[in-house]
Chain A
Amino acid sequence: MTNLLILIPVALFLGGLGLGAFLWSMKSGQYDDLDGASWRILDDGDDRPAE
């Protein structure tokens, strides 16, 4: 019983963390251009500072 008191809050916290991360990433526009993101990862130039 006592381990449940730890495990349930931990499970809920981790789940909540995932949910929060999703909501945050959506708000910050990371899903706005999924097609573009899949190409950008192949672009070597992207890690250089903008000229």
Chain B
Amino acid sequence: MSCCAPGTETAAELDALRTAGPAADEMAMASRDLGGGLRQCDLIVPAVHCGACITLLERELPKIDGVERARVNLSTRRASVVYRADGAEGRALAAVSDRLAALGYPAHLPGPDDEGGDPVFRELLKSLAVAGFAAMNVMLLSVSVWSGADAATRDLFHLISALIAAPALAYSGRVFFRSAWNAVRHGRTNMDVPISLGVILAYAISMYETLSHGEHAYFDASVTLLFFLLAGRTLDHMMRERARSAVRNLARLAPRGAFVIDAEGRREYRALAEIGPGMRVALAAGDRSPVDGIVLEGQGDMDFALVTGESRPVRVEKGTLVPAGTLNLTGSLVVEATRAAKDSFLSEMVAMMEAAESGRAGYRRLADRASAIYAPVVHLTALVTLIGWVVTTGDWRFATLTAVAVLIITCPCALGLAVPVVQVVAAGRLFEHGIMVKDGSAMERLAEANHVVFDKTGTLTRGRPMLVNADEVAAEDLALAAAIARHSRHPLSRALAASVPDAGGGRFEVEEIAGEGVLARAAPGGTYRLGRASFALPGGEAGASDAEGSEVVLSRDGRLLATFRFADDIRPGAPRAVAELAEAGLSAEIVSGDREPAVAALARRLGIATFMAGARPADKVARLESLRQEGRRTLMVGDGLNDAPALAAAHVSMAPASAADVGRQAADFVFLHDDLAAVPTALAISRRAGKLIRQNFALAIAYNAIAVPVAILGYASPLVAAVAMSSSSVIVVLNSLRLRRGFRPARVETAARPEGAAGYERPVPA
């Protein structure tokens, strides 16, 4: 009953079935005290996307007994639920979780490091507001001076400007002064050094001029400069924060705790950090294992895809080793932890990732490289101007004034905007296509890429099985099987159920036998069995071998009705994406942890000549390292936990939204749609952004080539400086905005429903 997504109800129901909301204990643990017996719990609700969703949730949630009020934030896609902590809150929270799922808004909890709010952004915005206020007023007074105010009036105006500018510089300039001071203290120089120096010197010399009744004061230049530069900074920060919060809002795949069974058989919810070796952990169907362990009791199927890259469910029974991060699909298991969470497979991957990341640390952002050349040149030019005028005229006052004018003119206003504006616009374009970029340097690195390495499962393929022989099976058998499959969470059952979307639930008495299949008793029809061949046909009918582990057999009273075959389907757009990347000049290869035949078949289908099968995480990193030594700049596209180190090691990396947490954090880009076309799109936009940045640099240099000689010769009056500075900034911004044209937004994906993805598109409200 999601508000305005007709036709997606069945999918939403299936999802709700699959991703049961967070447990009440977890929610209570994550909530905070508001005082007065009230507590607030923040939930991430990715499916919230319009006004009707807000109204619906804010109306429905407070109806639950114990819930005081609910507030939905559409920008961050969160819901804050305020409830009474009166002892019965467990039930209320469980009801909230269930109600959200039933309404079609599966919710999950934010991560522990995710506090919401952004103090840096607030500080930047406040600084920007103050600088804007000061710039406007000082400019007002300066215009009066330029248009002819003189003598006492001019001095008065200069004095008022000084009074406005002083607090504004002190408040808004902090961002730059701090960073410049840090750089100078460590013997380095960055873009902020000439900015700080220019602003402070301009203020000081103008103050001196004002007090000695001089004609020229540069108060307007120093505050406008600050305003423009702060605008660039704020935009830069906004872009990165937006992407970061969008990535944070994706469902966390690593559990934050689990039910531990103590010696007396009591179940207690414990946080991840408290689970140590030897503890017995209960895993219900749909839970991910929080730690590495050994199965003690029960049997079932587990999804190892995030760990090994292998798409087939693995059957587990007593004694099977279960790494952290694996998903229990059927049956309930009791697992004995063999290692604490901090020593788990997951943590090993994180350590490996950190080691691999050092390779990328060598990359310096374009802006940093530009400023490394720019800053010394600016300082040197100003110094030479000062010395030159002192030597030729002996007039210290004029020489200093001219040197400061040079500093102001060359102050990297256009340069400071050249990179962030383009990157903000580019990130906006990418966002429209469902691609999130972590930071600006990622786009620079992507533009340089000349080789692409794909993971197989979950990247080139969907990572979930699809029915492939639907047309060989009688329609009524398929409908019957789908109706039965609807009662199971096994991925093959879900694929079967999804292939007949309008099949009803059927009237069966259903029993799921973990690791085997589903037993359904219908009143007139007899007993149906859907599952492994050995389960559906207990007599052991020959010919129904289950070699690939991707067959499901439907039988009635022990007689074969139909056999369904599944295969991991290729991701939509994959062939086209590979072709487009080849056209863009990138060579491609596949590096997968899967078996050789599966990888070879896919490589053949996509026309990729080079591939590597059975690769362990370390092999993938080694492969990327050897590519680096060949001098290639590699784009890695992968999703699994086993890809995470490789994602960190690559020159630049991309991951789908369905990837493991660690993988998403390691990747520079995360794409939300199912379609692999995101990869060439991101490449095209990044390359175009790189081109515009270089154009902007050229514009800034051309401007300096004209303005600097004028300033050195002493003709840069405050008016000339103000006009030159503003016009160059405006030109650079306008040039950057050209990026908004040209790319059409991606078509709406109807099939795309990445697990818990934020911001996926839905049909437009009718």
Q: Which one of A26, A39, A51 contacts B126 once the chains associate, using CB atoms below 8 Å?
A: A26
Interface flag for B122 (CB, 8 Å): yes
Residues 53-79 of B, flagged 1 when their CB comes within 8 A of A and 0 if not, give 011000100100000010011111000
Interface flag for B164 (CB, 8 Å): yes
Residues in A neighbouring B141, C-beta threshold 8 A: 8
Are A12 and B129 touching (Cβ within 8 A)? no
Interface flag for A42 (CB, 8 Å): yes
Give the distance to chain B from A28, nearest Cβ to Cβ, in Å.
12
Are A42 and B51 touching (Cβ within 8 A)? yes
Give the distance to chain A from B526, nearest Cβ to Cβ, in Å.
52
Residues in B neighbouring A16, C-beta threshold 8 A: 133
Residues in B neighbouring A51, C-beta threshold 8 A: 59, 62
Complex CA–CA separation, A36 to B74 (angstroms): 5
Interface flag for B125 (CB, 8 Å): yes
Give the distance to chain B from A27, nearest Cβ to Cβ, in Å.
8
Interface flag for B608 (CB, 8 Å): no
Complex CA–CA separation, A4 to B130 (angstroms): 24
Residues in B neighbouring A43, C-beta threshold 8 A: 51, 54-55
- Which among A12, A16, A45, A50 has the greatest number of chain B C-beta atoms within 10 A? A12
Are B73 and A36 touching (Cβ within 8 A)? yes
Residues 509-544 of B, flagged 1 when their CB comes within 8 A of A and 0 if not, give 000000000000000000000000000000000000
Smallest Cβ-Cβ distance to A41: which chain B residue: B51
Interface flag for A32 (CB, 8 Å): yes
Interface flag for A34 (CB, 8 Å): yes
Could you tell me how many residues of chain A have their Cβ less than 8 Å away from some Cβ of chain B?
Answer: 24
Residues 458-484 of B, flagged 1 when their CB comes within 8 A of A and 0 if not, give 000000000000000000000000000
In the complex with contacts A19-B129, A19-B130, A34-B122 CB distance below 8 A: no
Interface flag for B320 (CB, 8 Å): no
Residues in A neighbouring B62, C-beta threshold 8 A: 50-51
Residues in B neighbouring A33, C-beta threshold 8 A: 73-76
- Which among B122, B133, B164 has the greatest number of chain A C-beta atoms within 10 A? B133
Q: Which one of B51, B125, B133, B136 contacts A39 once the chains associate, using CB atoms below 8 Å?
A: B51
Interface flag for B153 (CB, 8 Å): yes
Complex CA–CA separation, A34 to B75 (angstroms): 7
Are A15 and B137 touching (Cβ within 8 A)? yes
Residues in B neighbouring A11, C-beta threshold 8 A: 137, 140
Interface flag for B50 (CB, 8 Å): yes
Residues 23-48 of A, flagged 1 when their CB comes within 8 A of B and 0 if not, give 10010000011111001101101000
Interface flag for B160 (CB, 8 Å): yes
Could you tell me how many residues of chain B have their Cβ less than 8 Å away from some Cβ of chain A?
Answer: 26
Give the distance to chain A from B296, nearest Cβ to Cβ, in Å.
48
Residues in A neighbouring B50, C-beta threshold 8 A: 39
Give the distance to chain B from A24, nearest Cβ to Cβ, in Å.
11
Give the distance to chain A from B133, nearest Cβ to Cβ, in Å.
4
Give the distance to chain B from A41, nearest Cβ to Cβ, in Å.
9
Q: Tell me whether chain B's interface is mostly helix, strand or loop, or mixed.
A: helix
Are B122 and A12 touching (Cβ within 8 A)? no
Are B129 and A23 touching (Cβ within 8 A)? yes
Interface flag for A1 (CB, 8 Å): yes
- In the complex, the number of residue pairs spanning A and B with C-beta atoms less than 8 Å apart equals 56
Give the distance to chain A from B158, nearest Cβ to Cβ, in Å.
13
* A-contacting residues, B75-89, CB 8 Å: 75-76
Smallest Cβ-Cβ distance to B76: which chain A residue: A33
In the complex with contacts A23-B126, A39-B54, A40-B54, A12-B73 CB distance below 8 A: no
In the complex with contacts A19-B129, A26-B122, A12-B164 CB distance below 8 A: yes
Residues in B neighbouring A15, C-beta threshold 8 A: 133, 136-137
Residues in A neighbouring B122, C-beta threshold 8 A: 26
Residues in B neighbouring A8, C-beta threshold 8 A: 141, 160
Complex CA–CA separation, A42 to B660 (angstroms): 38
Residues in A neighbouring B73, C-beta threshold 8 A: 32-33, 36
* A-contacting residues, B132-164, CB 8 Å: 133, 136-137, 140-141, 153, 156, 160, 164
Give the distance to chain A from B764, nearest Cβ to Cβ, in Å.
15
Give the distance to chain A from B16, nearest Cβ to Cβ, in Å.
24
Give the distance to chain A from B3, nearest Cβ to Cβ, in Å.
12
Are A39 and B74 touching (Cβ within 8 A)? yes
Give the distance to chain B from A15, nearest Cβ to Cβ, in Å.
5
Complex CA–CA separation, A23 to B607 (angstroms): 58
Residues in A neighbouring B76, C-beta threshold 8 A: 32-33
Complex CA–CA separation, A15 to B164 (angstroms): 11
Give the distance to chain A from B549, nearest Cβ to Cβ, in Å.
45
Smallest Cβ-Cβ distance to A5: which chain B residue: B156
Complex CA–CA separation, A1 to B149 (angstroms): 11
Smallest Cβ-Cβ distance to A42: which chain B residue: B51
Smallest Cβ-Cβ distance to A19: which chain B residue: B133
Are A4 and B129 touching (Cβ within 8 A)? no
Are B136 and A35 touching (Cβ within 8 A)? no
Residues in A neighbouring B153, C-beta threshold 8 A: 1, 4
Residues in B neighbouring A18, C-beta threshold 8 A: 133
Complex CA–CA separation, A1 to B153 (angstroms): 8
Smallest Cβ-Cβ distance to A34: which chain B residue: B75
Give the distance to chain A from B116, nearest Cβ to Cβ, in Å.
9
Residues in B neighbouring A36, C-beta threshold 8 A: 51, 54, 72-75
Smallest Cβ-Cβ distance to A27: which chain B residue: B122
Give the distance to chain A from B252, nearest Cβ to Cβ, in Å.
23
Give the distance to chain B from A17, nearest Cβ to Cβ, in Å.
10
Complex CA–CA separation, A11 to B161 (angstroms): 13
- Which among A15, A16, A35, A43 has the greatest number of chain B C-beta atoms within 10 A? A35
Smallest Cβ-Cβ distance to B140: which chain A residue: A11
Give the distance to chain B from A50, nearest Cβ to Cβ, in Å.
7
Residues in B neighbouring A34, C-beta threshold 8 A: 75
Complex CA–CA separation, A36 to B76 (angstroms): 9
Are B125 and A26 touching (Cβ within 8 A)? yes
Residues in A neighbouring B59, C-beta threshold 8 A: 45, 51
Smallest Cβ-Cβ distance to B116: which chain A residue: A32
Complex CA–CA separation, A42 to B765 (angstroms): 15
Smallest Cβ-Cβ distance to B69: which chain A residue: A50
Complex CA–CA separation, A44 to B129 (angstroms): 33
Residues in B neighbouring A40, C-beta threshold 8 A: 51, 54
Residues in B neighbouring A19, C-beta threshold 8 A: 129-130, 133
Give the distance to chain B from A3, nearest Cβ to Cβ, in Å.
12
Smallest Cβ-Cβ distance to B72: which chain A residue: A36
Complex CA–CA separation, A25 to B504 (angstroms): 52
Smallest Cβ-Cβ distance to B130: which chain A residue: A19
Are A35 and B75 touching (Cβ within 8 A)? yes
Give the distance to chain B from A51, nearest Cβ to Cβ, in Å.
7
Residues in B neighbouring A26, C-beta threshold 8 A: 122, 125-126, 129
Residues in B neighbouring A39, C-beta threshold 8 A: 50-51, 54, 74
Complex CA–CA separation, A33 to B79 (angstroms): 12
Q: What are 17 sample pairs from A and B whose C-beta atoms fall under 8 A apart?
A: A11-B140, A12-B137, A15-B136, A15-B137, A16-B133, A22-B129, A26-B122, A26-B126, A32-B75, A33-B73, A33-B75, A40-B54, A42-B51, A50-B62, A50-B69, A51-B59, A51-B62
Give me the 7 closest cross-chain CB pairs, A-B, nearest first.
A39-B51, A36-B74, A35-B74, A19-B133, A33-B73, A35-B75, A33-B75
15 extra A-B contacts, CB within 8 A, seeds A34-B75, A50-B62: A1-B153, A15-B133, A19-B133, A26-B125, A33-B75, A33-B76, A35-B74, A35-B75, A36-B74, A39-B54, A39-B74, A43-B55, A45-B55, A45-B59, A51-B59
